[in-house]
Chains A and B, each alone.
Chain A
Amino acid sequence: MTAIASSTTGAAAASARTRARRRNRLHRIPLLPALLFVVVVTQVPFVLTVYYSLQSYNLYHPDTRHFAGLQNYRTIFEDSIFRTALVNTVILTAAPVLLSLTFGLFIALLLDRKVFGRGLLRTLIISPFLVMPAAAALVWKFTLLDTQFGLINFMLRPFGVDHTDWINSYPKTTITTVLTWQWTPFMVLILLAGLQSQPPEVLEAAKVDGAGGWQIFRSMTLPHLRPYMELGIVLGSIYIVQAFDAIFMITSGGPGQQTTNIPYYLYETAFRAFDIGRASAMGVVVVIATIIIATLALRTISGLFSDEGMKGRL
């Protein structure tokens, strides 16, 4: 009797399980095209990149293609330009991210108040981010930063600056300035959303209790903004680390290698020298470095995206 009962419940459980499995399979169908598409276009090429990185392969001399082991990796690690490019990438990512975050916070605080024409101000401030980076680079390169006719030299003339060749004298500063200008609006948007999600009752209460403006900012607003700042830093870094447009258009990586970052050096290796093997090895190194950094970053933002992070804040 008991044996029969348990076997029927067992069968019921088993059929429930198959049903659940079938339902899950059914649920999976809408997901598959997207998953497949992303895997084919991003993951498969990466596997091929690894494969190419182990070959001596130049598109100018396709006949000499052969297996080369780790030779490409040895070459790039002995390559001083590659090391320079790594350092430049870190500088040209960290500086714009931190600067745009700072400016972004400042502007977001100004716009979080009752300001005349606030809607228009918001429309204007997002514009640098929307402008095509390649177009913005040209406008900066010529009309603003030109040695002879540039507007910036004209504006600074009363301060004793004249005919400064900004791009060649201060290449890293130039690129940092353009990237900061472009990414500040992004930070403004994120931080403004953060500021506006602050419960007004609590601020009200703090004021009633006699807390000063600075005190409220430091002990309430800043901690509240922290996740938004982290999000801004992570997303900003993801995009800015790949900065190519401004460097290609304004400095072409120069003068010398002063603004050659990894994307630009990879471009030169792959699409100017057609050294597929060496460029692939660089690609692999970049991906490994990114995975290490991104794992740390994901741990930060997964907190934001998951259940508790933004809950109650938004």
Chain B
Amino acid sequence: MSTSTLTRPARARGTGTRSPRRRTRLPSLTGSLLGLLAWLVVLLFFFPVLWMALTGFKEEADAATDPPKFIFSPTLDQYRSAASDAEAYLTHSLTITVTSTLLVLTVALPAAYALSIAPVRKWRDALFFFISTKMLPIAGAIIPIYVIARNLQLLDRQIVLVILYSAMNLPIAVWMLRSFLLEVPVEILEAARVDGASFLRQLRSVIVPVITPGLAATALICFIFAWNEFFLAVNLTTTNAATVPVYLVSFQTGEGQFWARLCAGASLACLPVLIAGWAAQDKLVRGLSMGAVK
């Protein structure tokens, strides 16, 4: 127990909660110039995303023009036809990512518990084993996976991606959930134990309230990574389990002609993750750093 308290963050001073920070005010001109610069730079970075979404609202004739059209009469045609083209892919993606995310949470939560609240003796080794698998390049594993899937007639089956995406996200989920579990107040847990609260009651009354936002954030991170995954999807699926990235490959050589359709399809492909990411932005950095940065 003492070992796990060691890694407990000294103070829960999350950046998510807006801490009242006073800064000496810069001379207002410099201040507003820097503010303007911030807006300019951020808009520059955001522009490709905006341009993608906008081009999706164009007629094909307005999409590839010289000079590019910034003002045009918008149409939903491209989005509508992209949605019907991509429907099967979107369904596959949704099934695969949601199933794999649920699987990850089911397996990761007990593991995170065994690495934080009731730590096993070599919890440190186990923790670093998980993160080390994240460093193993996919190159070291993809070939046997492909050969085995081929021999077992599992190519182009959703179950393969579910398993692989779960393995891909499991280390992140364990690290992230552990970082949330470390915030469970030990004193309360101990008090509950002394009072003779059963394990299930401890779980319900002390752990669940703390871990629920953690579970939600972890789920969103797993969803984001699984939804956007490309390499495995392209190599292990063709039609029956093909996910959204595979749909986008069909545009890869579509030189010149169908930019509006392409952008509408690309925007649809990005939308779920953009929404998930915007919703989870307070917890995003924690997930990306596997719990190291809060």
List chain A positions with a Cβ less than 8 A from chain B: 24, 27-31, 33-35, 37-38, 41-46, 48-49, 52, 59, 106-107, 110-111, 113-117, 121-136, 138-140, 142-144, 146, 148-149, 151, 154, 181, 184-186, 189-190, 192-194, 196-197, 200, 203-204, 207, 228, 231, 235, 238, 241-242, 244-245, 248-249, 262-263, 266-267, 270-271, 276, 279-280, 282-284, 286-287, 290, 294, 297-298, 301-302, 304-307, 309-312, 314
Contacts and interface: CB of A to CB of B under 8 A. Distances in A.
B51 A245 contact: no
A124 B167 CA distance: 30
A283 B21 CA distance: 50
Interface string B1-34: 0000011011101010001011110100001001
A148 B256 CA distance: 9
B152 to A, nearest CB: 14
A238 B171 CA distance: 14
A49 to B, nearest CB: 6
A128 B48 contact: yes
Given A126-B277, A271-B235, A190 B288 contact: yes
B154 interface: no
Contact of B285 (A45, A135, A149, A193): A193
A231 B244 CA distance: 31
A197 B10 CA distance: 12
Interface stretch (B37-45, B71-79, B188-196, B209-217): B37-45
Interface SS, A side: helix
B137 A312 contact: no
B281 interface: yes
B126 interface: yes
Interface in B244-263: 244-245, 248-249, 251-252, 255-256, 259, 262-263
A148 B266 CA distance: 21
B174 interface: yes
A6 B159 CA distance: 60
Contacts of A231: 289, 292-293
B248 A134 contact: yes
B52 A37 contact: no
Which 6 A-B pairs have CB atoms at the shortest separation, nearest pair first?
A30-B110, A34-B111, A48-B144, A41-B167, A135-B266, A130-B277
B6 A307 contact: yes
Contacts of B23: 113-114, 200, 203
Contact of B288 (A31, A186, A207, A312): A186
Contacts of A140: 48
B35 A115 contact: yes
Nearest to B5: A307
25 contacts: A30-B113, A30-B118, A35-B111, A41-B167, A44-B144, A49-B144, A106-B41, A107-B41, A110-B37, A114-B23, A114-B31, A115-B35, A127-B46, A134-B269, A142-B255, A193-B293, A196-B15, A197-B15, A203-B23, A271-B146, A286-B140, A290-B137, A298-B131, A298-B135, A301-B292
B40 to A, nearest CB: 10
Contact of B140 (A49, A133, A144): A49
A149 B41 CA distance: 24
Most central of A48, A117, A127, A312 by chain B CB within 10 Å: A127
B210 to A, nearest CB: 17
B13 A110 contact: no
A310 B6 contact: no
Interface in B279-294: 281, 284-285, 288-289, 292-294
Nearest to B35: A115
Contacts of A196: 15, 19, 21
Nearest to B63: A143
Given A45-B145, A132-B266, A241-B137, A122 B114 contact: no
Interface SS, B side: helix
Interface of B: 6-7, 9-11, 13, 15, 19, 21-24, 26, 31, 34-35, 37-39, 41-43, 45-46, 48-49, 51-52, 55, 63-68, 107-108, 110-111, 113-115, 118-121, 126, 128-148, 150, 163-164, 166-167, 170-171, 174, 224, 227-228, 230-231, 234-235, 244-245, 248-249, 251-252, 255-256, 259, 262-263, 265-267, 269-270, 273-274, 276-278, 281, 284-285, 288-289, 292-294
Contacts of B230: 132-134, 244-245, 248
Contacts of B128: 298, 302
Given A48-B147, A134-B248, A197-B13, 17 more contacts: A30-B113, A35-B126, A37-B167, A113-B26, A133-B228, A138-B251, A138-B262, A139-B266, A143-B63, A149-B259, A263-B138, A266-B142, A280-B143, A283-B141, A286-B137, A310-B9, A310-B293
A125 B248 CA distance: 24
Contacts of B131: 298
A239 B47 CA distance: 24
A259 to B, nearest CB: 15
A235 B245 CA distance: 23
B263 A139 contact: yes
